[in-house]
Amino acid sequence: MSIRLGDIAPDFTAATTQGTIHFHDWIGEDWAMLMSHPADFTPVCTTELGYVASIRTEFDRRHVKVISLSVDSLESHDRWARDIEDTHGFPLNYPLIADPKAEIARLYDMIHPNADSLLTVRSVFIIGPDKCIKASLTYPVNTGRNFDEILRLIDSLQLTGDFDVATPVNWRPGDDVIIAPTLSDAHARRLFPEGWTMLVKPYIRIVQQPVRDT
């Protein structure tokens, strides 16, 4: 099954380290980041889970619920959680889904047979309150993810979802943004009455970043 941007995130019921969840109900009115890990007790995965635990408040501030998955048992997850706390000093403070039959992994196309027929690749799905897929990333099993960049991605998704703007290359929160190319100049003047500056070409209309309500 191929999951594309804008698709409804497949719903499921699963056992996790924080109890059984019904995924869409668990998301509620928030955002969610669903990420997969190749296997328990693998070194790169341990560093990722520990780091995300250490910056959990950054996701909370953005109203993003974090949840992870690997194709291992709940018992294995509970033992691995102790290693994560021992190595990083932070408890596993978000749910880890047990998916020993790889049912959810296949539902989300997290297993790529040309890479490995059993282990999940490092997938990330950012899901909005409407339960639609807003962004997805896929990393190979031996490359750890940059969760600071994923937070930047979430900031852009939330900003551009609230306003008719796009974020340019290397954008960081607070930087100038681009008026969405779908807006005519006449419509843009109503939304941005103070005007804009052009980056040489008239279709690159630069404005100060709007302020989101948090």
Is 45 labeled as catalytic in the residue annotation? Answer: yes
Query: How far apart, in Å, are the Cα atoms of 5 and each of 2, 136, 137, 155?
Result: 10, 7, 11, 17
Block residue for tokens 């950054």: 58
Calculate ∠ Cα 138-141-143, nearest 5°. Answer: 80
Cβ atoms of 195 and 181 closer than 8 Å: no
d(CA 65, CA 157): 15
- Phi then psi for 196, rounded to 5 degrees? -150, 170
- The pairs formed by 198-206 with CB atoms below 8 angstroms and a separation of 24 or more are 204/178, 205/178, 205/179, 206/176, 206/177, 206/178, 206/179
d(CA 139, CA 47): 15
Cβ atoms of 36 and 120 closer than 8 Å: yes
Residue of 32, 45, 84, 153 with catalytic role: 45
Give the residue numbers annotated as catalytic, written as ranges.
Answer: 45
